[in-house]
Amino acid sequence: MAKTALVTGILGQDGPYLADLLIKKGYRVFGLIRRYSNPNFSNLDYVGVTNEIDYVEGDMNDEASLLNLIRTLHPDEVYNLAAQSFVKTSFDQAKLTTEVNSLGPLYLLNAIKFFSPTTKFYQASTSEMFGLQHTNGYQDEQTPFHPRSPYGVSKVYAYWMTVNYRESYGLFTANGILFNHESPIRGIQFVTRKITDGVAKIKLGLAKELRLGNLDAKRDWGFAGDYVEAMYLMLQQKNPDDYVIGTGESHSVREFVEAAFKSIGIADWKKYVVIDPQFKRPAEVPNLKAKADKAKRNLNWKPKVSFEELVEMMVKADLKRYGSK
Ligand code: NAP
Ligand code: F7E
C-alpha cells in the first residue's frame, strides 16, 4: 500500500515542492487547507500538482480539526509547514503568530501521541531561532538560540515541544532548522521575491523604483526545491534527530539586489532603489550562515542550486509572468 503523508501549509511555498517530491516517491499526499471563500492554488499550479493531492480541511488554530484528521487518516508522516511565517508581521500580530506557530504544532503532537503514535512528525523550524547567536560566524545544531522576533520566539517553543515529545513519549519527531530558502513561488512580501518582482517590473517599464528596508542584513539563501529533500530525508532515518539545513554562504540584501539588477543588464541599481523605513524591523537578525555538516554526513544532503542560479531563476520567472500578461 502507498505511504501516506499529511502536509500542512500545502498552499505556501514549500508545500507544493514537498508534495511534488512525495508524489514522485509514490506517496498519497493529504494537504491541509483552511476554510477560504476563495482558496489560492497558484503555487500548486506552478509546480503542477494541484490535481494530485487529497485536500482535507482544518486550521492550525482549531485543535479538534487536527485531532480528528490524525485520528481518521493515521498518516505515516506529518510535515508541519503551516505557519504565520512573515517575521515583520509577527511584531504586530504576536498572539496570532504564537497560536499558529507554537500551539498548532502542539495540537498535532498531542494528536499523534493519543491517536497515531507511529506517525513520524517533521517540524519546520528556522534559523530565525538563532537570531543574534553564532559560533565563529556560523550557526549549527550546537549554537544556542536568541530569537529576535515574536516569530522566532514562537518557533523556539515548537522546536522544544518537538524535542520533548520525542524524549518523553518516544515519538519519531524531527526538527529541520532551515535557513532562508526561496523560489519563483516565494511569497511576494519576502525580500528576495520582492526584489525579483520589482526588477522584472522595472525591466518591462511597469515600475520606476523598488522600496526596501535594511540592505545590510545577511542571509544564507538556498532553493526551496533542494530543501524539501532534506525534510523528506529526516523522516527516513533510523533515528529521529534535528538538522541545520543551509548552503554555508551568506549574502547581504544589497548583494541580492545587485545580482538581480545585473541579471537584467543594469549595473547602476542605486538609481532605482529607495530606502523606506517602513520596511525595517524593531529588531533585526544581522547575519545568518549555516554549517550543515551534520546533514551532509547523516542525510547525504547538499544544496544543488547556487546563489547566482537562484537569483536568475527567480528574475526569469517574474519576467515571464509579466511578459505573458
Ligand atoms: P509560507 O509560504 O508562508 O506558507 C505557510 C502556509 O501556512 C500557507 O499555506 C498558509 O496557508 C499556512 N497557514 C498559515 N496559518 C494557518 C492556519 N491557521 N491554519 C492552516 N494553515 C495555515 O511558508 P513557507 O516559506 O512555505 O515555509 C514553510 C514553513 O517553513 C513555515 O512553517 C515557515 O515558518 C518555515 N520556514 C520557512 C523558511 C523559508 O525560508 N521559507 C525557513 C525556515 C522555516 P494559506 O495559504 O491558507 O495562507
Ligand atoms: O527578510 C531584510 C529584512 O522577510 C530578509 C521567512 O521565511 O526566513 C524568512 O525570514 C532580510 C531581513 O525573510 C526588506 O530586514 C530589507 O533582514 O525575506 P525576509 P526573513 O525575515 O529572513 C526565515 C528563515 C524564516 O523562517 C521566515 O519564515 O531582508 N529586508 N528590506 C527586507 N525584508 C522584507 N521582507 N522586505 C523589505 O523591503
Give pLDDT, residue 32: 98
The residue whose C-alpha atom lies closest to atom 18 belonging to ligand 1 is 60
Cell numbers at 261, concatenated:
539588477
Give pLDDT, residue 325: 57
The verdict on residue 89 lying in a domain is yes
Looking at the structure, do residues 133 and 206 belong to the same domain, yes or no? Answer: no
Looking at the structure, do residues 33 and 172 belong to the same domain, yes or no? Answer: yes
Helix ranges, the chain (H): 14-24, 42-47, 63-73, 87-92, 94-98, 104-115, 150-169, 191-203, 224-234, 253-263, 293-294, 307-323
The verdict on residue 299 lying in a domain is no
Give pLDDT, residue 259: 98
Neighbours of 211 (CB within 10 A): 13
Give pLDDT, residue 1: 87
Looking at the structure, do residues 162 and 269 belong to the same domain, yes or no? Answer: no
Looking at the structure, do residues 24 and 163 belong to the same domain, yes or no? Answer: yes
Looking at the structure, do residues 97 and 142 belong to the same domain, yes or no? Answer: yes
Rg (CA), the chain: 19
Give pLDDT, residue 107: 98
Give pLDDT, residue 143: 98
The verdict on residue 107 lying in a domain is yes
Which bound ligand lies closest to the C-alpha atom of 279? 2
Give pLDDT, residue 323: 84
Please count the structural domains in the chain: 2
Cell numbers at 149, concatenated:
522576533
Which bound ligand lies closest to the C-alpha atom of 210? 2
Q: How far apart are CA 20 and CA 81, in angstroms?
A: 15
Looking at the structure, do residues 33 and 102 belong to the same domain, yes or no? Answer: yes
CATH of the domain at 262: 3.90.25.10
The verdict on residue 100 lying in a domain is yes
Looking at the structure, do residues 96 and 193 belong to the same domain, yes or no? Answer: no
For a mutational test of ligand 2's pocket, the pick from 87, 252, 275, i.e. the residue with the most ligand atoms closer than 8 A to its C-beta, is 87
> Which pLDDT tens digits describe the chain residue by residue (325 residues)?
899 999 999 999 999 999 999 999 999 999 999 999 898 999 999 999 999 999 999 999 999 999 999 999 999 999 999 999 999 999 999 999 999 999 999 999 999 999 999 999 999 999 999 999 998 999 999 999 999 999 999 999 999 999 999 999 999 999 999 999 999 999 999 999 999 999 999 999 999 999 999 999 999 999 999 999 999 999 999 999 999 999 999 999 999 999 999 999 999 999 999 999 999 999 999 999 999 999 999 999 999 999 999 999 999 999 999 986 5
Looking at the structure, do residues 167 and 201 belong to the same domain, yes or no? Answer: no
Looking at the structure, do residues 164 and 78 belong to the same domain, yes or no? Answer: yes
What DSSP state is assigned to residue 103?
A: I
Residues contacting 289, CB < 8 A, separation 6+: 134, 137, 138, 139, 218, 220, 246, 248, 249, 250
The verdict on residue 294 lying in a domain is no
Residue with cell 545544531: 141
Give pLDDT, residue 76: 98
Give ligand 2 pocket residues (Cβ under 6 A). Answer: 85, 87-88, 126-128, 179-180, 189-192, 194, 212-214, 217, 219, 253, 279, 281, 284
Looking at the structure, do residues 253 and 241 belong to the same domain, yes or no? Answer: no
**pTM for the whole structure:** 0.98
Neighbours of 24 (CB within 10 A): 10
Catalytic status, residue 89? no
Domain of 162 in residue numbering reads as 4-181+222-245
CATH of the domain at 114: 3.40.50.720
The verdict on residue 65 lying in a domain is yes
Looking at the structure, do residues 78 and 193 belong to the same domain, yes or no? Answer: no
Looking at the structure, do residues 70 and 203 belong to the same domain, yes or no? Answer: no
